[in-house]
Amino acid sequence: MAGGASMGGDDDGITGINVTPFVDIALVLLIIFMVTAKYITSQSIPVDLPEAASASDTQQVSVANVSISATGQFFVDLEAVDDAGLRARMQQRLAQNPEVRAIINADRTTQHGRVTQAIDIIRLAGVTKFAIQTTQPAEEPQGAQR
């Protein structure tokens, strides 16, 4: 009989499925997710962070991003605020979630007193968990002197 169809009782099912295309698509989606995840979750103004050897990525579920520009301007989640506005926003975030953490992103040229003032305002608002965002320094060749 033409066409390769058999008339007998040949009930062979699918004996194998090629999963290579599925794995390829899954890996591409994973790479896209990894590349874009940092940009999606990070909502702070761009500042030139100081370096610290113990720096790490701080990703918590409930985070309030507090940025301090080089001029000393406060920002909470990309919105410019004054001192009273910073305290009000922190109190609002604390009311929404008692486990909120403040991540302070201060430009390296920001005066130390302004960073201390931000920490004080955040604590007065009732938020006791906070961190100061830094970046890891570039690798130095061995034997390099500072």
What's 98's domain CATH number? 3.30.420.270
pLDDT, residue 43, reads 56
Is residue 25 in a domain? no
Is residue 31 in a domain? no
Q: Percentage of the chain with pLDDT > 90?
A: 32
Is residue 92 in a domain? yes
Express each pLDDT in 18-33 by its tens digit.
888 889 999 999 988 8
Torsion of CA 104, 107, 112, 114, to 10 degrees: -70
Task: Report which DSSP code applies to 77.
Answer: T
Number of domains composing the chain:
1
Nearest to 102 by CA among 84, 121, 82: 121
Is residue 81 in a domain? yes
Residues counted in the chain: 146
CA distance 78 to 57: 19
Nearest to 46 by CA among 20, 65, 22, 24: 65
What's the domain range around 127? 43-132
